[in-house]
Amino acid sequence: MEKGDKVHYTGDRANEPGWGTVTKIDSRFFDLEFDDPERKPFRGLFILSIEPGPGRLFWPEGDWRVYRQEKIEELKNRTFMKHVTA
């Protein structure tokens, strides 16, 4: 991950999901400025929070798009969806 990279935040109970840009990064932490100017930026996030794992909240843009497309395809292939789309 580098400064300027796009990141998707999946959200949690207190914060809505959204897209942002990495504005600062070092060996342990990064800052995320949201595309929505109304949102406060996240500062001092651990680099490890963007690594794959259960409960992952921060996704590099490319990883998020691949993951999302995989989930869409899984949903389309479920039995109940075949009846709906037929």
Q: List the one residue out of 69, 54, 58, 64 whose CA is nearest residue 34.
A: 58
Report how far residue 29's alpha carbon sits from residue 3's, in angstroms, rounded to the nearest whole number: 12
Assigned domain for 74 exists:
yes
Assigned domain for 32 exists:
yes
Total count of domains within the chain: 1
The pLDDT-based confidence of 83 (bands split at 50, 70, 90) is: low
Assigned domain for 1 exists:
no
Enclosing domain of residue 44: 6-85
Q: Is the pLDDT of residue 29 over 60?
A: yes
Assigned domain for 16 exists:
yes
Can you give the pTM of this predicted structure? 0.80
Q: Tokens representing 34? A: 């949201």
